[in-house]
Structure 1
Amino acid sequence: MKNLKYCLSGLALSVAASVSQAAEVEVLHYLTSSGEAAAINVLKEYLGESGHTWKDFAVAGGGGESAMTVLKSRAISGNPPAAAQIKGLDIQEWGDLGFLTDLDGVATAGKWDTLLPPVVSNVMKYDGKYVAVPVNVHRVNWLWANPEPFRKAGLGIPTTWEQFLEVAPKLKEAGVIPLAHGGQAWQDATLFEAVALGVGGPEFYSKAFVDHDEATLKGAEMINVFKTFKKLRDFIDPNASGRDWNIATSMVINGEAAMQIMGDWAKGEFTAAGKKPGVDYVCLAAPDTSGTFTFNIDSFAMFALSDDDASKAQGKLAELVMDPAFQETFNLNKGSIPARMGMNRAPFDSCALASMDAFEASSASGTLVPSMAHGLATTSQVQGAIYDVVTNFFNSDTSAEDAVETLARSVKAAQL
């Protein structure tokens, strides 16, 4: 086994060389937008500097549905990648199937339990053992706005749904698309959960999307959520069908649209375009959701491998993901905040700092809720059922009353 000289630029690692056989690490992910690609390239470089080779397996599609279809095919055929971008309860499902490997050795050495808040570490574990490593925490309930259309129209950026419904028609009259959106099921669900959190509040949200309480799913408050959600359709342009989320973000960047409701991965697109928060764009909590935080965690689950050298390289990847230098650089590019606690806040911009403060405050107040649209609140089966109801309602003449009845039935059936 030969000695490998490690190039450690940017990483605060204590050892400059290691006795280890170089190995290839295949990573399946769907981080393919410009901001996401810049973020994931950091990890590729760090793994290469450690002496191992990153084999990229990128599957385009912002919600990850296509990537999960490919992953299932690979895993069932007995040829899973070393690591895959998997989130939330899907990690538990893969653990139940016996595909994931135990990372407790790496986690104990790295003191992950002391570095990760419980809301994050609990998601990374299966049967009490680490099987995945988090790269970040996303706040999903953000509103991104280009201030120029508002200035031209003499309007304020809305902070409530009532204000939004007052401002949006005036923006439309001024020739600006009020709300940039992509007509894809996961984007419809992202918008829907922001409405649900704002209209119903965090307790209502948790009863509906975490507990799946039938009375809540088909109650009067949910009817109100669906009615508010449908009103937003009038403020989205007719070409939204099939549009990727980052294309919608670019509409806000260039002033074609005034606002977008999207997780903070959207900020990575503003950053990649050279835009500055508070100058070229504004980040605010989605209407009526100030003081709450809908979280999404990007993570890499590690699959059991038969080759010892590949397993060691896989462990190195997990170690690098938790390194503070990577956590900082990745999240500066991605637009999210580090999963690791105790990070230096100085390099982060005002939007990231607001997200960090909101995460801590929501954790303390009990208003921190997992994202349904992004797989943190429920299983993929229940999530898919909600997707279908929400997107069908948004694009049809179905009444809110009928929609909530269908929602309750669909969620119940998906749990069987």
Structure 2
Amino acid sequence: MIPAPSGPSPVVTVVGIGADGWEGVTDAARRVLRDAEVLIGGPRQLDLLPSECVGERIAWPSPLRPAVPRLLAEHAGRRVAVLASGDPMFYGIGRALAEEAASLRVLPHPSSVSYAAARLGWPLEDIEVVTLVGRPAARLAAALHDGRRLLVLSADATTPGDVAALLRDRGFGPSRMRVLEQLGGDRERTTAGTTADDWAQAHPPGDPLNVVAIECRRAPDVQRLGAVPGLPDEAYEHDGQLTKKHVRAATMGALAPAPGELLWDIGGGSGSIAIEWMRVHPSCRAVTVERDPVRAERIARNAERLGVPGLRVVTGDAPAALARLPRPDAVFVGGGLTAPGLIEACWDALPAGGRLVANTVTLESEALLADAYRRHGGELVRLAVAHAVPVGGFTGWRQAMPVTQWSVQKSLNPVPGADA
């Protein structure tokens, strides 16, 4: 039994409830639900409560998130209980309530992920969880690696079919899929495992309350995409405007992405820097600015293909297009360096500790980077890559155009001898 908190009772209590309904709710949670003056939840969850829960029942409106502060304000001072599926703090309403409620108590129920791992015999620490509730199926692509086990939180009964289609399209058709429905309830059911290639023929849509389990298997003839920056150039659709693999890996090392950070990618080209920034961690965010609308559309296609459909693509000229963007943690300039005021605008937008990296292959832009290096410090390097190619009956080196790269971290303390 969960002990009652000391001091005054919180205004809002979140109660996790599973497919087993009232039978699976703890005694402490039952007391809260019986005592509540207001009961808020989805219609399915509210229907699980018995008549002894006499509080006013309010179903969440759509869209849900904007309604949270309004409903809390309307019922301020009353005993409010909010129903949530499983663990409210795991991709649930608990996050929004924690941001809005002055005082919050959470009584969790086992999550569908915990149930699924138990049924499958999969250690939770070895599983990656991807939610497709209110999110595009394309985001699953970033998690596809041979041999990995994934649990997908489904939006509805159509999600397993969407997942199977994506796996086939991304070259993971041999992956084994199972769907676990109504976990923890008396209607619990697990489909027999089959491959994504065979899913559509073997399994029509089932229960909307489901989790998809995937054992990833890449088809032998499909290109392998690693988990670190420097994806093969062939992974991108492009017209030649692409930061090449080896330079891209070095650029990402200089940008040093961390979870939750935002990147401005200026002169996006094919979007490779922004895409690989977002692939580092699910919470990494990026905005790419590209003046050519054809290239901007291509960036969006690359982002969806490579599992980061949340990449924001802005079509416009920098620095004008930067004015309304949220403040970045890092900026990459891959094109347009000669635009008047661009380097200054990027520098001014960065907070202390922010990073700026710029690449160029032209003498004109190189002169601008040398001046920026003089004024702000940092590191100025030249990256040269050569590839072995046939030379008659022998092999020789073909040199790619060298890339000049300036990288700097903004500090509150000016660099000695440099301009502020």
Q: Which has the higher helix share?
A: 1
Asked if these proteins are the same fold (TM beyond 0.5), I'd say: no
Larger Rg: 2
Q: TM-score, normalised by structure 2?
A: 0.26
Q: TM-score, normalised by structure 1?
A: 0.27
Higher relative contact order (CA 8 A, sep 6+): 1
